[in-house]
Amino acid sequence: MEFNAGKYHIAVIGAGHAGCEAALAGARLGMKTLIVALNLEAIAMLACNPSIGGTSKGHLVREVDALGGEMGINIDKSLIQIRMLNTGKGPAVHSLRAQADKHLYHREMKRTLENQENLTLIQGEVEEIRTRNGKVEAVKLATGQVYYCDAVVVASGVYLKSRIIIGEYTAESGPSGLYPARSLSRNLRDLGFTLYRFKTGTPARVNSRSLDFSKMIVQPGDPTLAPFSFMNDPIKIEQVPCYLTYTNEATHEIIRKNLHRSPLYSGVIEGVGARYCPSIEDKIVRFPEKKSHQIFLEPEGLYTNEYYVQGMSSSLPVDVQIDVYRTIPGMENVEIMRPAYAIEYDCIDSTQLKLSLESKEIKGLFFAGQINGSSGYEEAAAQGIMAGINAVQYLKNEEPLILDRSDAYIGVLIDDLATKGTPEPYRMMTSRAEYRLLLRQDNADLRLTEKGYKIGLVTEERYRRFMAKKEGIEKEEKRLKETIVPPSRENNEYLSSLGSTPIQSGISLYDLLKRPEIKYKDIIKLGNLSEEAGPAVQEQVEIQVKYEGYINKQIRQVEQFKKAENMRIPQDIDYDQITGLRLEAVQKLKAVQPMSIGQASRISGVSPADISVLMIYLEKRRRERKADGS
């Protein structure tokens, strides 16, 4: 029997990485918020790899943090190792990745939710989202509670009708044996949403006591632990190492002989998996020329013997998994504590969403995370904070916060999902961002903190810290431009020792820093300056000076991009009435309902010729309305 259990401004379905950010954003912005978790012990669970960040994903974490989110703060509390990736390349692709104590990560996020003002946390399964007159009205739980609300954020992760697959064995289950959500898929279909079936997977967890680390290559953390959150200073902990080993021909031969038992090739798995994160059996089939593949052994926490075997995602039967793992150096006597598995789940067609992540058809209904077809904790958190912010903006009857592709990786992520859709689990990559030199992980606060502050999510303390950094950068750049280094013998000898050309006349420290071989620490000595600027300011100044030409070129590209984004398309436009548009373009434009010419040009199936026809039509319409005085 159902009953009225209360009234909230926002109800968030799911307490994974998307749900946590959405609920915290809503509550911190003053809305009475409810968050419903299938299991309170699975809040912010690191169901797959025990890490946060990585290439491009670290950018997303920094952006969530700059907007006032929680993921960066939480991983800084619970990390056990951290590394900056891609340091041999330019700053656009530098990205932090931290190993987490997965149990501590969960506990700290649960504690944060429990102690957040305006936020109520409960355990239960939402089986129905109720609407009235095209607007959200309530959510109903399987146990009968009906919570009335004005906005809903669906952040159900991989739990919708989820199915675990290990060889010939299948079970209706969420990750790690948790209950699936059985009813919400049907309700979403009834509400008009198109559902897809996607698949992801995870490797086995093994007992570290059964491993021989002496046969593996130690992977230590960085000497200096840069934090994820802009609110934190460098972290000081004793780091735990990871280990590297490799598959070999014996590994590959066992897999090839047992492909007929793999659900991927026997037809048991129906869902579409991610190309960019293939299972080990998929790697062997797709890359037969490769004689070995990297395998990383990563600790799941400080107080467990479980290690995550990165690179060995699989759905092979358990007996085959054991045989395969025992061919790998250092794993000859391995004991599997939790077998690898594949998981299938329902997700929506993300082109049914606006760029605000609100449904195009049902007002007040927002979606975030893997329900939108994305994969990864970081992608989920990024969508979660945006859905939470925009649910509040909706309730306040104010314009949504839309980050475009030149603002943030978050903007690229959401634009890709809402405009292009995704035929497979979507993973963020630096190559997806056209303006990645501007969208670096080191300057996420300079790009987004002001926006978060205007919305109200960035605290005064965070804003003061941001302003101090911004002013420090301006002051330091000015100081470097005004400090002139004379062509003395001592200075030229020092330049020569750095492999740099001696100077014939006075030169500013700013211009010297442009030289590839000169580092910030070098110009401090040359100018006989005290290190007034902190590490964060020094990093920004060095990047901005060294890449000034490239940055200015990309800024000009962004200006051109903005012109197309600012050419708005009226939402009452009737594409069927536009002569010259191809049928496919009409269908795609009607489905996506783009906000601008820029967004329309990114829709798959809409050609440059279609865009030209659309622009001519809009200009004709504008002139006609101007002539009519309307």
Q: Are strands 163-166 and 341-348 parallel, antiparallel or unpaired?
A: antiparallel
Whether 567-628 and 205-344 are alike in CATH topology: the answer is no
Does residue 368 carry a pLDDT above 90?
Answer: yes
- Are the beta carbons of 575 and 452 closer than 8 angstroms? no
pLDDT tens digits for range 590-613: 999 999 999 999 999 999 999 999
> What pLDDT shows up at residue 627?
79
Alpha carbon distance 378, 51 (integer Å) = 10
DSSP string, 459-515: -HHHHHHHHHHHHHHHHHHHHHHH-EEP--HHHHHHHHHTT-PPPSS-EEHHHHHTS
Banded pLDDT at 533 (limits 50, 70, 90): confident
All residues at 6 or more sequence positions from 433 whose CB lies less than 8 Å from its CB, including other chains: 56, 405, 409, 412, 439
575 vs 275 pLDDT, higher one: 575
Give the residue among 555, 543, 544, 537 at the shortest CA–CA distance from 407.
Answer: 555
Q: With b meaning 16 or more CB within 10 Å and e meaning fewer, what string describes 474-499? A: eebbebbeebebeeeeebbebbeeee
Provide the token pair at 618.
Answer: 């809009």
Residue-level pLDDT at 1: 82
Predicted confidence band of residue 278 (pLDDT cuts 50, 70, 90): confident
CATH class of the structural domain 3-51+106-199+345-421: alpha beta
Share of the chain above pLDDT 90, in %: 87
The three-state DSSP-derived secondary structure of 429-440 is CHHHCCCCCCCC
* pLDDT one-digit tens code per residue, 387-445: 999 999 999 999 999 999 999 999 999 999 999 999 999 999 999 999 999 999 999 99
The lowest-confidence range among 8-22, 287-301, 484-498 is: 484-498
Residues 471 and 441 sit within 8 Å (Cβ to Cβ): no
Q: Where are the alpha helices (DSSP H) in 340-459?
A: 377-395, 409-415, 444-455
pTM value?
0.95
Which pLDDT does position 324 carry in this prediction?
97
Model confidence at 25: pLDDT above 70 = yes
211-220, 279-288, 307-316, 522-531: segment of lowest average pLDDT: 522-531
625 pLDDT tier (thresholds 50, 70, 90): confident
Closest by CA to 429, choosing from 532, 277, 305, is 277
- Residue 527 phi, psi (nearest 5): -90, 0
pLDDT mean across residues, the chain: 94
Q: Which fold has domain 471-553?
A: Arc Repressor Mutant, subunit A (1.10.10)
Residue 256 has pLDDT above 90, yes or no: yes
In the chain, the percentage of residues whose pLDDT exceeds 70 is 99
pLDDT number for residue 367:
98
The predicted pLDDT at position 532 comes to 67
pLDDT at position 267, please? Answer: 80
| Token couple for 320 | 């085959």
Task: Encode pLDDT of 118-171 as tens digits.
Answer: 999 999 999 999 999 999 999 999 999 999 999 999 999 999 999 999 999 999
pLDDT of 177 higher than 80: yes
Which pLDDT does position 630 carry in this prediction? 59
> How far out from the chain centre does Cα 356 lie?
16
Domain coordinates in residue numbering, the chain: 3-51+106-199+345-421, 205-344, 471-553, 567-628
Distance CA 585, CA 605 (A): 6
Residues 314, 166 contacting (CB under 8 angstroms): no
Name the E strands within 155-269: 163-166, 169-172, 195-202, 205-207, 217-219, 242-246
- CATH superfamily, domain 567-628, is GidA associated domain, C-terminal subdomain (1.10.150.570)
Return the CATH class of domain 205-344. Answer: mainly beta
Can you tell me the distance from the alpha carbon of 31 to that of 18, in angstroms, rounded to the nearest whole number?
17
For 449-468, the pLDDT digits (tens) are: 999 999 999 999 999 999 99
Using pLDDT thresholds of 50, 70 and 90, give the confidence band for residue 530: low
Candidates 151, 147, 140; CA nearest to 387 is 151
Distance from CA of residue 375 to its chain's centroid?
8
Please, how many CA atoms are within 13 Å of residue 606, restricted to the half-sphere of its CB?
Answer: 26
Q: Are 51 and 65 in contact (CB under 8 A)?
A: no
pLDDT value at 207 more than 70: yes
